[in-house]
Amino acid sequence: MRILLIEDDRDLNETIKEFLELSGFEVISVFDGEEGLSKAYEENFDLLIVDVKLPKINGFELVKELRKTKNTPVIFLTSLNSQKDIEEGFLSGGDDYITKPFSLNELKLRIEAILRRVYGNSEIIKIGDVEFDLKKEILKKNGKIVHLKPKEIKLLKLFLKNKGKILSKEEIFEEIYDLEEPNEYSLRVFVNNLRKVFGKEKIETIKNVGYRFVG
């Protein structure tokens, strides 16, 4: 899931970004409302985290403008906690409202709750211009189907389940080879085929250990 974080406090921005990336999210962060609005228009995100007191365009105005064309879920972060401020947050198009200070775990739980509600019935994972239907096991790039071998599908599912985690060759062999004899050369071929779809930088080789999917 891709998250756009718009927070002008650079220390807090960095802390949230690092925490969410360690939790498996892809996070793009910016520091003012004008840049945030441009990013939200130019790219597709699954969720926006928006500070209210932003330079150039405040969070409420940003979301009001965004709601003219997009329905991306929004969580507001703010030190404003009066009933009037909370009402304004929801009326401007926010889906949730967290007052500062807050715990990172609370933020994560609220993010997961919104994503379950909005995307809970979806079985399609999107990474850039690539879509993978977990149920139908269909992979598409730029809308065109990419044919994968059964073991490549198993490997892709394993990578997606463990995004950001280093997987040893032994773990991968156990998952994709069943009762067959593991073959390291074939594994390299499978990885290279997936790299052709997602990009070389998305699947890192961890020397003498295994691989890590960072998409």
Segments making up each domain of the chain, as ranges:
2-119, 124-213
User: What percent of the chain is modeled with pLDDT above 70?
Assistant: 98
Which pLDDT score, from 0 to 100, does residue 63 have? 94
The domain 2-119: what is its CATH number?
3.40.50.2300
CATH node for 124-213: 1.10.10.10
Question: pLDDT digits over 23-43, tens only?
Answer: 889 999 999 999 999 999 888
- For residues 89-114, average pLDDT: 91
pLDDT of residue 120: 64
Q: Do residues 150 and 186 make contact, with C-beta atoms less than 8 angstroms apart?
A: no
**Tokens found for residue 71:** 């329905």
pLDDT in tens, 141-156: 988 889 899 899 999 9
Q: At what angle do helices 150-161 and 169-176 cross, to 10 degrees?
A: 130
Asked if the model's pLDDT at residue 122 lies above 60, the reply is no
Buried b / exposed e over 127-139, threshold 16 CB at 10 Å, is beebbbeeeeeeb
Mean pLDDT of the chain: 90
Q: What is the pTM (predicted TM-score) of this model?
A: 0.58
Query: How would residue 83 be classed by pLDDT, with cut points 50, 70 and 90?
Result: confident
> Does the fold of domain 124-213 match that of domain 2-119?
no
pLDDT of residue 15: 97
Q: Residue 207: CB partners within 8 Å, gap ≥ 6? A: none
pLDDT at 53: 92
